[in-house]
């Protein structure tokens, strides 16, 4: 059996699995799995570029995904004019002051001679800058957050089409990745891991607490959609008639229609990114990356700037994660900072990449679909399993209740087990690197 045939078969199996979910559960569920699978596939391509091409270990995927989500709010929500009038300029001035402080400290660092004067000078700039920044920021933030807090309490966005937010999400994530990469790359590999773990937590903390920016835990709902709304479709006589000719009720037809539209949009993005990633992998640049990954010392001896190349691919991979994050928030239609969990948004993506096959983009895509399918389906299967296990026990017994209630936690266990089994027995994944 050739490799191509095997790969087609693997993708076919995943397609069949999703179809089984469609038949046994509902086609809505199946399409939801498909849509989330498409987004997961894009995220795992991003991680695969970092890990598979270059061997960089990034555990801050959640942060980059959340930045993408923030982008879709900042770009597509309508601005809140009252909030802007109340404190918009103050906040922007404060942010500029903060940036100027850091720039000033960096400038002092470069220009002043090394010694106590420089250390004290930098410290003074940072401390004074921080207090000035807070003095300007705090009143403006209070003013903004006081503007109709039940509905707004934040500055809003730019009121642009939500599709614009996708690349913007990528840019935001790229900026954060550049900052991290600049400090942590070039040191030992674990340091990057810990630095990314930290930045992800901080990004989530900012989203949760800076209400003027993202409404914090009050969430932003009603992010505009790139597709039609179900209710409009149901009120459209032509659509209802066409749905009836397919033998579907207007409600079913409209939900399916919207999900299919999303699936098409996401597929277009996935195909573009997959094509780009494949072109990059097979280009001289991709060969250089793999050469660096396999032997940094040799690559450096050949005149390659390892740290710069690492920074480059780290930024690109994170940007792809940011893009996927913006798509995810668009699909959800809301930004809920409280739902970003590292196990779900960082480590699950890692399982996808490792299971699919690190270094191979098609592997990453397959892993994205397969692992997402497992993630969704483990819960009902776990509950069923627990039902079987506890069938013989007396109703209302302590153990039975406990086991049934804990079925939801089977997910993490299963994912860990899958990861360990693949790493041990098939470390190259389902579709190995060529």
Partner 1 sequence: MDLLNAIVALTNFVIVPAVSYGSQLALGALGVTLIYGILRFSNFAHGDTMAFGAMVTILFTWWFQGMGLTLGPLPTALLALPFGIAVTALLLIGTDRVVYRFYREQKAKPVILVIVSLGVMFIMNGIVRFIIGPDDQQFADGARFIVSARDFKEWSGLDEGLAIKTSQGLTVITTIIAVALLFWFLNRTRTGKSMRAYSDNEDLALLSGINPERVVMYTWLIVAALTTVAGVLYGLDKSFKPFTYFQLLLPIFASAIVGGLGSPLGAIAGGFVIAFSEVTITYAWKKVLGYLLPDALEPSGLVQLLSTDYKFAVSFVILLIVLLFRPTGLFRGKSV
Kindly state whether residue 209 participates in binding partner 1, applying the rule CB under 8 A. Answer: yes
Per-residue burial over 85-114, b if 16 or more Cβ lie within 10 Å, else e, is ebbbebbeebeebbeebeebbeebeeeeee
Element (H, E) at 356: helix 348-356
Among 19, 117, 146, 202, binds partner 1 (CB under 8 A): 202
Beta strands in 178-296 (DSSP E): 220-221
Q: Which range binds partner 1 by CB under 8 A, 86-94, 155-163, 392-400, 416-424?
A: 416-424
95 versus 271: smaller Cβ distance to partner 1: 95
Q: Which of 189, 249, 283, 295 binds partner 1 (CB under 8 A)?
A: 189
Region 366-405 residues binding partner 1, contact defined as CB under 8 A? 405
Candidates 200-208, 238-246, 256-264, 302-310: pick the segment binding partner 1 (CB under 8 A).
Answer: 200-208
- Whose Cβ is closer to partner 1: residue 204's or residue 320's? 204
Identify the DSSP state of 391: G
CB of 304 to partner 1, least distance (A): 20
Q: Is 184 in the site for partner 1 (CB under 8 A)?
A: yes
Whether the CB-CB separation of 299 and 289 falls below 8 Å is answered with no
Rule CB under 8 A: choose which of 190, 241, 300, 401 binds partner 1. Answer: 190
Site string for partner 1, 114-153 (x = CB under 8 A): ----------------x-------x---------------
Query: Could you tell me which stretch among 16-24, 63-71, 156-164, 411-419 binds partner 1 (CB under 8 A)?
Result: 411-419
- Report how far residue 126's alpha carbon sits from residue 108's, in angstroms, rounded to the nearest whole number: 11
Q: How far is the CB of 66 from partner 1 (least distance, A)?
A: 14
Binding to partner 1, residues 33-62 (CB under 8 A)? 55, 57, 59
Stretch that binds partner 1, among 5-13, 34-42, 238-246, 340-348 (CB under 8 A): 340-348
Q: Could you give the CA distance from residue 366 to residue 356 in angstroms, rounded to a whole number?
A: 6
What single-letter DSSP state applies at residue 221? Answer: E
- Asked if 256 and 227 count as a contact pair (C-beta separation under 8 A), the reply is no
From candidates 362, 411, 429, 430, binder to partner 1 by CB under 8 A: 411
183 near partner 1 (CB under 8 A): yes
Residue 218 vs 259, nearer CB to partner 1: 218
Judged by CB under 8 A, the residue of 304, 342, 344, 379 near partner 1 is 342
Query: Residue 6, interface with partner 1 (CB under 8 A)?
Result: no
The least CB distance from residue 160 to partner 1, in Å, is 30
- Among the listed residues 72, 30, 25, 67, the one whose alpha carbon sits nearest the alpha carbon of residue 46: 67
Q: At what angle do helices 61-76 and 27-48 cross, to 10 degrees?
A: 110
410 interacts with partner 1 by CB under 8 A: yes
> According to the binding rule CB under 8 A, does residue 420 interact with partner 1?
yes
For the chain, state the CA radius of gyration.
Answer: 24
Which of 208, 304, 383, 428 touches partner 1 by CB under 8 A?
A: 208
Is 201 a binding residue for partner 1 by CB under 8 A? The answer is yes
C-alpha–C-alpha distance, residues 85 and 102, integer Å = 27
CA 254 remoteness from chain centre? 28
Query: Counting contacts by CB under 8 A, is residue 193 touching partner 1?
Result: yes
Query: Per rule CB under 8 A, is residue 413 in the interface with partner 1?
Result: yes
How many residues in the chain? 434
Size of the site for partner 1 (CB under 8 A): 44
List the one residue out of 33, 27, 49 whose CA is nearest residue 363: 49
Measured between alpha carbons, how far is 150 from 404 in angstroms, rounded to an integer? Answer: 38
> Which residue, chain included where needed, has tokens 């396999």?
294
Task: Map 126-191 to HEC letters.
Answer: HHHHHHHHHHHHHHHHHHHHCCCCCCCCCCECCCCCHHHHHHHHHHHHHHHHHHHHHHHCCCCHHH
- Of the CA atoms within 13 Å of residue 422, those in its CB half-sphere come to 22
Which residues make up the interface to partner 1 (CB under 8 A)? 55, 57, 59, 130, 138, 183-184, 187-191, 193-195, 197-199, 201-202, 205, 208-209, 342-343, 347, 350, 354, 405-406, 409-417, 419-420, 423-424, 427
């Amino acid at each position: 059996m050739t490799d191509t045939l095997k790969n087609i078969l693997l993708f076919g199996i995943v397609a069949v699995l999703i179809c089984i979910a469609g038949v046994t559960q509902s086609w809505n569920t199946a399409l939801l799995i498909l849509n989330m699978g498409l987004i997961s596939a894009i995220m795992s391509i991003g991680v695969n570029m970092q890990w598979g091409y270059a061997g960089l270990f990034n555990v801050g995927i959640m942060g980059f995904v959340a930045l993408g989500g923030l982008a879709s709010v900042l770009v597509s929500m309508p601005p809140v004019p009252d909030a802007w009038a109340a404190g918009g300029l103050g906040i922007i001035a404060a942010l500029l002051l903060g940036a100027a402080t850091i720039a000033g400290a960096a400038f002092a660092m470069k220009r002043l001679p090394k010694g106590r004067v420089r250390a004290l000078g930098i410290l003074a700039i940072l401390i004074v800058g921080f207090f000035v920044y807070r003095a300007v920021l705090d009143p403006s933030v209070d003013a903004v957050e006081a503007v109709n807090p039940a509905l707004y309490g934040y500055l809003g966005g730019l009121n642009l089409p939500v599709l614009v937010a996708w690349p913007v999400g990528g840019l935001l994530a790229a900026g954060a990745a550049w900052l991290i990469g600049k400090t942590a790359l070039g040191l030992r590999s674990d340091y990057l891991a810990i630095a990314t773990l930290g930045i992800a937590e901080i990004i989530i903390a900012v989203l949760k607490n800076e209400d003027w920016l993202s409404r914090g835990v009050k969430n932003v709902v009603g992010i505009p959609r790139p597709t039609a709304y179900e209710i409009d479709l149901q009120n459209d006589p032509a659509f209802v008639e066409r749905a009836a000719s397919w033998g579907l009720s207007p409600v079913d037809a409209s939900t399916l229609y919207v999900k299919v539209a999303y699936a098409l949009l996401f597929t277009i993005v996935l195909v573009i990114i997959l094509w780009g990633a494949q072109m990059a992998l097979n280009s001289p640049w991709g060969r250089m990356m793999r050469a660096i990954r396999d032997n940094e010392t040799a690559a450096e001896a050949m005149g390659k700037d390892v740290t710069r190349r690492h920074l480059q691919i780290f930024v690109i991979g994170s940007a792809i994660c940011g893009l996927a994050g913006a798509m995810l928030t668009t699909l959800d239609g809301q930004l809920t900072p409280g739902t970003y969990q590292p196990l779900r948004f960082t480590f699950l993506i890692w399982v996808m990449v490792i299971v699919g096959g690190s270094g191979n983009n098609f592997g990453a895509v397959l892993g994205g679909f397969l692992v997402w399918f497992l993630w969704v389906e483990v819960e009902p299967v776990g509950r069923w399993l627990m039902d079987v296990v506890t069938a013989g026990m007396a109703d209302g017994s302590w153990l039975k209740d406990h086991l049934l209630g804990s079925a939801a936690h089977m997910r993490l266990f299963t994912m860990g087990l899958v990861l360990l089994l693949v790493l041990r027995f098939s470390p190259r994944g389902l579709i190995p690197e060529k």
